[in-house]
Amino acid sequence: MVQARIIRQEKDLFRVETVAGNLCEGCTSCSKGRGGLEVLAKADRDYRPGELVDIDMPSADLNAAAFWVYGLPLIIILAGIYLGTLLAPVIGLGNWSEVVGVTLGIALGAVYYLVMKTRQGDMNKTGRFTATIVGPASSNLCQLETSLSKGE
């Protein structure tokens, strides 16, 4: 679980910003401690802007989201580089195969980014990668310490 501050309500979801606990000052043990990450979260009741809440996301959804954000783009870029180096001699640019490969890799990565950016609204509707507001903030413990004590 991570503490967050309600920023605003967007239809049936809340935009929240993660906040670092009091004990996180100067700590670099986890990225949660830095705070400032904005995410959409669903809730079973209303909250007002400025309220502190605890948010959570199932591990499977968190891992899947990380794959979609980091893993798949990396695979697409590397595949583009590989295909570009294979394609360059075929189109008569054998001496420029590395340049063609990198260009194709970056282009495919950009296309992936644009497709995902346009589908972001659809993904928010399904709620699969949306955090859940568990309730009002429970404590000011270190985020890492809280996660470890719950076996996450």
Domain ranges of the chain: 2-57+130-149, 60-125
Closest CA to 17 of 47, 44, 45: 47
Q: What is the pLDDT of residue 71?
A: 93
Its pTM stands at 0.63
d(CA 53, CA 7): 11
Contact 41, 22 (CB under 8 A): no
The stretch 76-85 carries a mean pLDDT of 94
Closest CA to 100 of 89, 111, 109, 110: 89
Q: What is the pLDDT of residue 113?
A: 92
Q: What is the pLDDT of residue 41?
A: 85
Residue 123 CB partners (closer than 8 Å, separation 6+): 129
Mean pLDDT computed over every residue of the chain: 80
Confidence of residue 28 (pLDDT cuts 50, 70, 90): low
More confident residue, 102 or 37: 102
Q: What is the pLDDT of residue 78?
A: 95
d(CA 111, CA 32): 30
Q: What is the pLDDT of residue 45?
A: 85
Name the least confident of 26-30, 34-38, 108-112. Answer: 26-30
Q: What is the pLDDT of residue 43?
A: 85
95-147 pLDDT per residue, tens = 899 999 999 999 999 999 999 888 776 666 666 677 888 888 876 555 555 55
Select the CATH number that applies to the domain covering 2-57+130-149 from these four: 2.40.50.140, 3.90.550.10, 1.10.760.10, 3.40.50.720: 2.40.50.140
Q: What is the pLDDT of residue 100?
A: 93
Per DSSP (E only), the strands in 1-152 are 2-10, 13-18, 38-42, 52-56, 131-136
The stretch 81-108 carries a mean pLDDT of 92
Residue 24 CB partners (closer than 8 Å, separation 6+): 32, 33, 34, 35, 142, 143
127 class by beta-carbon count within 10 Å (0-12 exposed, 13-18 middle, 19+ buried)? middle
